[in-house]
Every structure is written in C-alpha cells, then in structure tokens.
Amino acid sequence: MADNLKGLLSSSMEKIRDLVDVNAIIGDPITSPDGTIIIPVSKVTFGFVSGGSDIPAKAPAEIFAGGSGAGVTIKPQAFIVVKTDGDVTLLEVGGENSVIDGLITGIPDLINKVKEIFNKE
C-alpha cells in the first residue's frame, strides 16, 4: 500500500507543480508602446487531498484503491508599473476599497432608486 500511495501522491504533486509556477504569481512583463513596463502580480491558492486503502480480498493479489484531488485558484492582486523615468508604483486590484467593489455593492441601491423614479411617474 505504501508504494501505491506514494505513487499517487507523487503523480498528483507533479501535476500541481505544472499548474502553479512562479510565472503564475509574478507574470511576464508587458511593455506598453511608450516604454512603461507592467508586471502582473497574482495570489495563488491551492488545496490538495489524497487517500487510499488496501481492500480485503480472497485472492492472494494485493488490491489497492485510492484517489486524489486538487484545486487551484489564481486571482490578480496588483500590477507593478515601471515608468520610463524609473518611477515604480503598485496598483492594487480588488481590496476592500476598490472602485470595482464599490460599484458592485452600489448596484442594488441604484436599481432601487431607478425603480422609485419610474414608480412615481
């Protein structure tokens, strides 16, 4: 059983390594036409589970059953911007106070206000 489980774990971890490399966290630099360099930075989260067991059998052959699973999430977090004059800034994506979050949370209020306007007329 130990060899079977070891093989299962090794195979799964190898596949995860293929999915998650350093380029998934710090992306390839993008150069804009004016020479500004933009480097994407992402958050990578992954989970992994594996297990197995010998199954009792009447035959003398060893029977092993096992399985594994993994999940990977890659979420953009920021962009490092290197301007042509050497100035470096970090532009965060998301966060609690981002413009996108503000728009998304404000949409229900906006819809209610529009409904009120049409209901008055």
CA distances for 40 relative to 16, 86, 95, 101, angstroms: 21, 18, 16, 20
Q: How confident is the model at residue 96 (pLDDT cuts 50, 70, 90)?
A: low
pLDDT band of 102, cuts 50, 70, 90: low
How far apart (Å, rounded) are the C-alpha atoms in residues 76 and 30? 15
Instruction: List, for residues 31-76, the tens digit of each pLDDT value.
Output: 989 989 999 888 888 777 777 777 777 777 777 777 777 777 888 8
Q: Could you read off the pLDDT of 17-33 as tens digits, one per residue?
A: 776 666 777 888 999 89
High-pLDDT (> 70) share of the chain, %: 69
pLDDT at 71: 77
Do residues 44 and 20 lie in contact, with contact meaning Cβ atoms separated by under 8 Å?
yes
C-alpha span between 76 and 74 (Å, rounded): 7
What per-residue confidence (pLDDT) applies to 37?
92
pLDDT of 79 higher than 60: yes
For the segment 80-101, the average pLDDT, to the nearest whole number, is 77
